[in-house]
Amino acid sequence: MKRCFLFPGQGAQYPGMARDLWESSPRVKEMFQSASDALRMDMKKLLFDSTEEDLKATDKTQVAMTLASLCSSAVLRERGITPDACAGFSLGEYAALCESGVLKFEDVFPIVRIRGELMEKAARGLDSKDGAPGMAAVLGLPAEKTLSTVGGLSSLGVYPSNHNSPVQVVVSGTARGLARAETELKAAGAKRLVRLQVSGPFHSPLMAEARSAFDAALASFAFADPAVDVYSNVTGRKIGSGEEARELCGKQLVSMVRWVDVQEALLADGSDRFFEAGPGTVLTGLLRALRPEARCFPAGTLVSISKALEEKA
């Protein structure tokens, strides 16, 4: 049996996430305090008292989601479930890097805050009279058809940003570009485009400004070699060293998330029990879409963790 922790990305957040974990675990309370100290902000207030609109802001979402996800993995460990491998979707990759020993707990929060601030700044620089840039899931069109269609729209500021499943791709773009992409993709057979609850065109070349500043910021943090196997969104493969992880963190801002490749690599390397350590069930659904028989357990709440234990995960 080989267990893998999967960490969700931005968009899965909700007000009050991790409250039940905080109420039940002294270790989680310590983690909230450590994160608050590292960021010099009240993380309990951010996670428990913010509105849904507050949590949509990238600079707030990223630190909140990272803490909620790492608290989930801590409670899994308290219940005797430890990972043999880790992977995270987009932002979730930072929780995976922390869980695998690449990043220190006290460093991961300043890093994701810097990341969030730079991404938000770059996104706001792309606001226009047409509206804000963003991301949209393409529904009803095979992934390969979406990728080929969007591949011809880069001059309009539209790029493929997440390859989520064989039947789902997410695109990033400016407001004008996304409107044009919707027309082109519907003509190609897509049923519709659904805008995601994010504030920018992430994982695309539109984030180049954020990437250069982020690379410079990462130079002041230590990246250790992985103690637990951890997989990259950029390559879809296992990360070999701390220095490779550092380089990939910058590339991830401007590169498509190859989640299908990550899942296939995990399965090929023997992972056969998956735990979605963090808010939501998106990654559970994506894995089951790829491999219906896969054993994947939501694990972002006490109830879901207890259910996973009952099912002899």
Point out the residues that are catalytic.
90, 203
Confirm if 276 and 253 have CB atoms less than 8 A apart: no
- Tell me the pairing of strands 229-231 and 273-276: unpaired
Confirm if 302 and 79 have CB atoms less than 8 A apart: no
CA-wise closest residue to 200 among 103, 134, 274, 124: 134
Q: How far apart, in Å, are the Cα atoms of 172 and each of 37, 257, 281?
A: 34, 12, 22
Tokens of 40: 């010099």
Tokens of 105: 């707990």
Complete edge-to-edge strand list for the sheet that includes strand 192-195: 158-165, 168-173, 134-139, 192-195
Q: Compute the distance between CA of residue 52 and CA of residue 132 in angstroms, rounded to an integer.
A: 18
Q: Compute the distance between CA of residue 312 and CA of residue 302 in angstroms, rounded to an integer.
A: 16
Contacts (Cβ under 8 Å, ≥6 apart) of 127: 133
**DSSP secondary-structure letter at 131?**
B
DSSP string for residues in 40-82: TS-HHHHHHH--HHHHHSHHHHHHHHHHHHHHHHHHHHHTT--
